[in-house]
Amino acid sequence: MAIKVKLREKAISGNRKSLYLDFYPAIPHPETGEPTRREFLGLYLFDKAKNPIDKQHNKETLQLAEQIRQKRENHLNKPEIYTGYELEQKRIKELGEQNFVAYFKTLADKRKASNHDNWVSAYNYLETFTKGNLKFADLNEKFCNEFKEYLLTTKSNKSSKTTLAQNSAVSYFNKLKATLKQAYKDGYLTTDLNAKIEVIKQAETRRNFLTIEELNSLVKTECNNPLLKRAALFSALTGLRFSDIKNLVWDEIHHSVENGYSIQFTQQKTKGVEVLPISEQAYSLLGERKEPTDKVFEGLTYSAYENKHLYQWIGAAGITKDITFHCFRHTFATLQLSKGTDIYTVSKMLGHRELKTTQIYAKIIDQTKREAADKIQLDF
């Protein structure tokens, strides 16, 4: 007579249910030899699970319990058969012996452009932390949290004197989570470990920008490097990054009677193809048109020496803010929003992939309004 094995539940403390196997007819207890109908599995479910983590726990626990039930039933009724469950466990064990760090590297290699560079940086920190050797079987919440702490406290690979910036740690840890998620999909992990670990919170960043009055002051102030001045003002009028301005060629500058001036180019950072309308005032900063493949800002370079000219020009205009070239891009964004341009349009003009990146500038505008409101104080 075949022995039936059922998976059953029993209510226990803490709003939980213990899982056990019910045998019919009874089988000999493996230790006492006495007939028994029950085998408790040491597994439990959350009763009336409501949050996603508890629901996921219940789902994975039930899957494991069912695998155990199937194995018991096969052994009791067909002991000569190498069960499908056992084959699956063998496969999982073999995958667990593979190197997670090497798997991470394969995912990084598939990325392109700036995203690839970011993945490679994340890989370098992971390789240093693990010494390049970490089995899938050794991945758990403890390891993930230890790596998170490492990212928040380690020195930057770019400068041994400074700690890795928090937002860089955010980005690199998110790469780990993305890899864990993919590993679960690919079958290397039997549980969705990614869903169980918390992200690193994004740090608020301070983005300096210039007012329209300060920009006009810079227009009227001489700069020891006129090319740098034209490029900076062009950035403030278009929102372009230094790298995109530096690589701009005349073939990318277009004009039509109907639509006016525009730039059609590929962003250096995101590699996205963009069509950016520009004003006639911005076009006037470009100078005399040359051959299609000639650089528009020929000779523009980024160096400590050139930055010195930038700082001197800023200071000569009476501006005491800490302004870098990239702040002219911030200036474009904040001025557009303050003049009423909707955030979606500004996001597109900046070439942002996600709207949340542009929302940082909206926070700056709100803070600026708050500071302006607080300037009026009466003697109550």
Contact 283, 325 (CB under 8 A): no
| pLDDT digit string, tens, across residues 77-104 | 875 555 566 667 777 788 888 999 999 9
Residue 181 has which token pair?
């998620």
Task: Give me the residue label for tokens 């708050």.
Answer: 370
Taking residues 144-149, what's their average pLDDT? 94
Q: Is the CB of residue 104 less than 8 Å from the CB of residue 179?
A: yes
Q: Is the pLDDT of residue 204 over 80?
A: no
**How far apart are the C-alpha atoms of 56 and 166, rounded to whole Å?**
30
Q: Which amino acid is at 261?
A: Y
Task: Output the pLDDT for position 147.
Answer: 95
Provide the token pair at 89. Answer: 């466990």
The pLDDT of residue 346 is 79
16 SS3 class? strand
Task: Judge whether residue 293 has pLDDT over 90.
Answer: yes
Average pLDDT, the chain: 85
Most confident of 59-68, 343-352, 365-374: 59-68
Residues in CB range of 241: below 8 A, 6 or more apart: 235, 267, 268, 269, 326, 329
- pLDDT at res. 41: 92
CATH of segment(s) 212-374: 1.10.443.10
Q: In this predicted model, what pLDDT tens digit does every residue of 306-363 receive, in sequence order?
A: 788 999 999 999 999 888 898 898 888 888 888 888 888 878 887 776 667 667 766 6
